[in-house]
Structure 1
Amino acid sequence: MAPVGGTAVQDHVALAEIELCGELIIAASAAEDRLSLESIDQVLRVAEERKD
């Protein structure tokens, strides 16, 4: 049961992971075949992280 009193805690890492999973699900559902590793990296913005 959720605590009463509005003591919600946000886990920003978990929220980011959920968002990325959602983006992967959307990309996979739009694809005609399995996503390639390169496509997955693009959806997850791996190249952007490597630049930084």
Structure 2
Amino acid sequence: TYYDPEGDILMLEALLNNDPEPFSKDDLLTLHRELKFIEPKIQSEEDEPPK
């Protein structure tokens, strides 16, 4: 098998240095609209307040 440690390092550097663009305000508003809050159907004993 052929192993090129320097090529692997260059690929890793390129992957780590390729930062995604930060979220814009419009992206966050769209994401907020798409998220839904779902009430659990069954409440676990851990979720109940202390007596």
TM-score, with structure 1 as normaliser: 0.31
Bigger radius of gyration, 1 or 2? 2
Structure of greater relative contact order (alpha carbons < 8 Å, 6+ residues apart): 1
User: Normalising by structure 2, what TM-score?
Assistant: 0.32
More helix, by proportion: 1
